[in-house]
Structure 1
Amino acid sequence: MKKSVKILSAVVLLVLVSAFNVNTPISGGYQIGDIAEDFSLKNIDGKMVSMADYKDAKGFIITFTCNTCPFAVMYEDRIQALNEKYAPKGYPVIAIMPNNTDVKPGDAMPEMKKRAKEKGFTFPYLMDEEQKVYPKFGATKTPHMYVLEKTKKGNVVQYIGAIDDNHKDASAVKVKYVENAVDALLNGEEVTQKETKAIGCSIKV
């Protein structure tokens, strides 16, 4: 009996050690304060785009978005407005389409080009064709927003979540999460609301 108890205790201990092993990979993507790795993805014009291309940028507004999600469509004009307002100030928008186009043919490159032309996008619209970038960020929705601050250490994640507090009606927005984050960084202040829940469609794998 005692032997059985000792064996059981040893098994339980082993399970607990494994569960809390610091070397166990942690899923979920970047957290606030993490350094975001650069990427190199194809733009709708056929050119490869990286954050390193933006030599004078102070940071970035990264959005994972697509053509086919109704939530993403509702936010297109607001994403365009973010780029128009903040790109001249050093925080350009970079849009990344993360969906598997076999599942969502409406998000294929020809459709991305068409949509960008129709809407007059002034920011790069990149395809995460191998679906390797969005998991690093931890993006789960379209749209899913990330505000990065360029520092000597790298591009630090300073905000993750939604664009604002009303996806249905831009005129009814009370809190502009992304704008508040970027404004704080431009003023040398700490971002007060660092995370919110992204509202949108699930990324298709």
Structure 2
Amino acid sequence: MSTTIKLLTLAFVTVLSVMFTTPTNYTTDGYKIGDIAEDFSLKNIDGKKVSLSNYKDAKGFIITFTCNTCPYAVMYEDRIVALDKKYAPKGYPVIAIMPNNTSVVPGDNLQAMKQRAAEKGFTFPYLIDENQDVYPKFGATKTPHVFVLKKTGIGNIVKYIGAIDDNYKNAKAVTTKYVENAVDALINGNEVPEKETKAIGCTIKN
């Protein structure tokens, strides 16, 4: 085999490798640490639209992509409620967003969201990303997937991305509370100690 043919063969194999190993799901992109998150306007379970700009006194936000039907999300519901109760009074409210396509997952439709919020006593907005155009901007891929934002004069800056803590199975066995550590650091004017972790959960359905 000539050198030219070898090179062409190698190039062809390389192209095929890239084609079949590069993720095609656009949600692998999205905000990175330090990016400014765009505002959004999504329908809450009460029918009203909610935007980050509605929160005039907020110092930041705990944006949580979650849903009714994912077992991982269900295991974290009480912890999400606890985060809002602890940090909303300190200026960092939880805003939950349901990103799934409800045609694919009917159990995540708006009526089911209302029912689940009532059953669990959600103290925060539970928004539906009906057009599925918000979660790709964030780069959310799982439920749950958390983005901690800090409000500044230039916008809401992404300061943490990832999991809520290090044990989805058992809240009592958690050793590192990633979101709490991030928000505590921001409240105290410090750097977030661990800025990114791997979100563990169900894949967002589109």
State whether TM-score is above 0.5.
Answer: yes
Give the structure 2 partner of residue 188 of structure 1. 189
| Distance in structure 2 (CA, Å) of the matches to 1:193 and 1:40 | 29
Q: CA deviation at 1:152?
A: 0.5
| Distance in structure 2 (CA, Å) of the matches to 1:114 and 1:169 | 25
For the 8 Å contact 2:166–2:178, the answer to whether it is kept is: yes
Structure 1: gaps (5+ residues):
16-24
Structure 2: gaps (5+ residues):
16-25
| TM-score normalised per structure 1 | 0.88
Give the structure 2 partner of residue 131 of structure 1. 132
Q: CA deviation at 1:27?
A: 6.0
The 5 Å alignment of 1:49-198 reads: 49-198=50-199
Give the structure 1 partner of residue 29 of structure 2. 28
| TM-score normalised per structure 2 | 0.87
Deviations 1:28-65 (A, max 9, x none): 10000000000000000000000000000000000000
SS in 2 for 1:112: helix
Runs of 4+ aligned residues of structure 1 deviating over 4 Å after TM superposition are: none
SS in 1 for 2:127: strand
Task: Give the letter for the 1:108 counterpart.
Answer: N
Task: Give the letter for the 1:186 counterpart.
Answer: I
| Distance in structure 1 (CA, Å) of the matches to 2:202 and 2:168 | 12
| Distance in structure 2 (CA, Å) of the matches to 1:146 and 1:154 | 15
Task: Give the letter for the 2:182 counterpart.
Answer: A
Q: CA deviation at 1:192?
A: 1.4
For the 8 Å contact 2:27–2:139, the answer to whether it is kept is: no
| Distance in structure 1 (CA, Å) of the matches to 2:85 and 2:106 | 29
Deviations 1:171-205 (A, max 9, x none): 00000000000000000000010000000000000
SS in 2 for 1:160: strand
SS in 2 for 1:91: coil
SS in 1 for 2:132: coil
Give identity over the alignment, percent: 76
SS in 2 for 1:136: helix
Task: Give the letter for the 1:58 counterpart.
Answer: K
| Distance in structure 2 (CA, Å) of the matches to 1:102 and 1:84 | 32
Give the structure 1 partner of residue 201 of structure 2. 200
**In the superposition, relative to structure 1, how do residues 26 and 61 fare at CA in structure 2: closer, same or farther (>3 Å)?**
closer
| Distance in structure 2 (CA, Å) of the matches to 1:27 and 1:77 | 27
SS in 1 for 2:158: strand
| Distance in structure 2 (CA, Å) of the matches to 1:26 and 1:64 | 13
Task: Give the letter for the 2:163 counterpart.
Answer: A
| Distance in structure 1 (CA, Å) of the matches to 2:28 and 2:183 | 27
For the 8 Å contact 2:42–2:50, the answer to whether it is kept is: yes
